[in-house]
């Protein structure tokens, strides 16, 4: 019974990761792109938790905590950059701000 | 237990798919929070209660609130009031509310059958084990995570700081 759950949970993690990737590719609003990155990180965390649950060890949850810390740091810097971009260019469309030295 | 697992997975996929296709960022955030809560239930079912709590507190709580703050700061304008009023119309929040209620029912069900005895095939991995692991073999990793968070804090402060307007050196320096 348990391995079936793990398999299906891994499938769920893959689906969520693909949804995040699709969101990253189809959206042009930079906030949505950051959200999609969050979805992908979360799917990776789910995969770690499932692995930990499969073997009954705590390593999966430890890795999840590291992913959480990384996601928090990434979001804080990313949102600060987004606010700065919006102040400077008055838009959040990445097609408008695709030059580094604009 | 199986029903809870599959229902939560379904809610997570639905909410994520809706989140990446919404046009308005706040609606997307609402659905993303539902998706995170569904994953928290999933973590709880497969025997990771500590990760489930962190998912709710840090992901659905802190990180999403950060997003909401950023979006609100971008939207300071004359139309903000109008926009706020539209945000409160039931058409927008009723679907996330229903999904969250289903999740709440799942949680209540889990707690109810917990009293009877075993409720999951998975042996729960308790926070004490995670803590012992984090401050034992993974101590270096914890310190690196602390460095990363510190760097993130300093970086966000530095990027978000308002620049001083530099005039010519003979003119008076003005603070913006």
Distance CA B75, CA B26 (A): 11
Contact A2 B48 (CB under 8 A): no
Of A42, A50, A75, the CB nearest to B66: A75
| CB within 8 Å: B133 and A58 | yes
Q: Which of B3, B1, B70, B7 is nearest to B37 (CA)?
A: B7
Of A80, A43, A92, whose CA–CA distance to B16 is shortest?
A: A43
**Whole-angstrom Cα Rg for chain B:** 22
User: Nearest residue on chain A to B67, judged by CA atoms?
Assistant: A79
Question: Of B161, B129, B109, B159, whose CA–CA distance to B47 is shortest?
Answer: B129
Residue of B nearest to A29 (CA): B25
**What's the pLDDT at B81?**
65
Rounded Cα gap, residues B149 and A67, in angstroms? 12
User: Which of B3, B51, B131 to mutate against chain A (most A CBs within 10 Å)?
Assistant: B51
Pull the structure tokens for residue B150.
């510190």
Residue A92 — φ and ψ, nearest 5°?
-120, 10
A22, A58, A76: residue with CB nearest B129: A58
Please judge whether A38 and B153 are an interchain contact, meaning their C-beta atoms are less than 8 angstroms apart.
Answer: no
Give CA separation, B144 vs A66, B10, B54, in Å. 9, 36, 19
pLDDT tens, position by position, A50-94: 999 888 888 999 999 999 999 999 999 999 998 888 888 877 788
pLDDT tens string A6-46: 889 999 999 999 999 999 999 888 889 999 999 999 999 99
Could you tell me which residues are beta bridge partners of residue B165?
A: B174
Show Cβ contacts of residue B38 under 8 Å, excluding neighbours closer than 6 positions: B8, B9, B11, B12, B15, B99, B103
Distance of CA A1 to the CA centre of its chain: 30
**Which residues does chain A have within 8 Å of residue B28's beta carbon, measured at their own beta carbons?**
32, 35
Query: Given B54, B73, B125, which is nearest A68 (Cβ)?
Result: B54
| Tokens linked to A95 | 């097609």
Q: Both tokens of residue B58? A: 């840090």
Residue B155 to residues B101, B112, B129, B175: CA-CA distances in angstroms? Answer: 39, 46, 33, 22
- Indicate the domain borders of chain A: 29-93
**Which residue reads 């989140």 in tokens?**
B19
Residues of chain B numbered 47-86 and touching chain A (CB < 8 Å): 47-48, 50-51, 54, 58-59, 62-63, 66-67, 70-71, 73-74
Any B CB within 8 A of A14 CB:
no
- Write the pLDDT tens digit of every residue in B18-59: 999 888 888 899 999 999 999 999 998 888 889 999 999 999
CB atoms within 10 A of CB A87: 12
In the stretch 85-114 of chain B, residues with CB closer than 8 A to chain A read none
A102 versus B64: the higher-pLDDT residue is B64
Which CATH code for domain A29-93? Answer: 1.10.287.3510
Rounded Cα–Cα distance for residues B96 and B43 (Å)? 20
d(CA B129, CA B131): 5
pTM of the model: 0.85
User: Other CB atoms closer than 10 Å to residue B93's CB: what's the count?
Assistant: 14
- Alpha-carbon distance of A45 to B92, in angstroms, equals 29
Domains detected in chain B = 2-125 (1.20.120.1200)
Chain A residues touching residue B5 (CB < 8 angstroms) = 5, 8-9
| Residues of chain A positioned with their CB less than 8 A from the CB of B149 | 69, 72-73
A51: alpha, beta or left? (left if phi > 0; alpha if psi -120 to 50)? alpha
The reply to whether A46 touches chain B by the CB within 8 Å rule is yes
Cross-strand bridge partners of residue A59: none
The tens place of each residue's pLDDT in chain B, 176 residues long, gives 788 889 999 999 999 999 998 888 888 999 999 999 999 999 988 888 899 999 999 999 999 999 988 888 887 555 666 666 666 677 778 888 899 999 999 888 888 877 555 556 677 888 898 999 999 999 999 999 999 999 999 999 998 887 766 666 666 555 44
């Amino acid at each position: 019974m348990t391995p079936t759950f793990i398999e299906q949970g891994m499938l769920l993690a893959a689906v969520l990761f693909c949804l995040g990737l699709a969101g990253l590719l189809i959206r042009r609003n930079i906030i949505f792109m950051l959200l999609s990155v969050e979805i992908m990180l979360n799917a990776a965390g789910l995969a770690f938790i499932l692995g930990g649950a499969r073997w009954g060890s705590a390593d999966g949850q430890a890795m999840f905590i590291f992913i959480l810390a990384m996601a928090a740091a990434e979001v804080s810097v990313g949102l600060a950059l987004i606010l700065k971009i919006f102040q400077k260019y008055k838009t959040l469309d990445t097609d408008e701000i695709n030059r580094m030295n604009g | 237990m199986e029903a809870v697992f599959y229902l939560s997975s379904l809610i997570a996929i639905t909410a994520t798919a809706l989140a990446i296709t919404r046009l308005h960022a706040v609606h997307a955030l609402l659905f993303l929070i539902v998706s995170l809560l569904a994953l928290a239930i999933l973590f709880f079912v497969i025997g990771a209660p500590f990760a489930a709590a962190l998912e709710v507190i840090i992901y659905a709580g802190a990180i999403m609130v950060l997003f909401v703050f950023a979006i609100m700061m971008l939207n300071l304008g004359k139309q903000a009031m109008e926009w706020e009023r539209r945000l409160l119309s039931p058409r927008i929040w009723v679907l996330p509310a229903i999904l969250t209620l289903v999740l709440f029912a799942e949680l209540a069900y889990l707690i109810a059958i917990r009293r009877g005895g075993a409720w999951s095939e998975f042996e729960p991995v308790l926070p004490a084990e995670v803590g012992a692991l984090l401050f034992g073999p993974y101590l270096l990793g914890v310190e690196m995570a602390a460095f990363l968070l510190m760097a993130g804090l300093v970086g966000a402060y530095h990027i978000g700081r308002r620049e001083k307007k530099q005039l010519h050196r003979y003119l008076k320096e003005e603070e913006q």
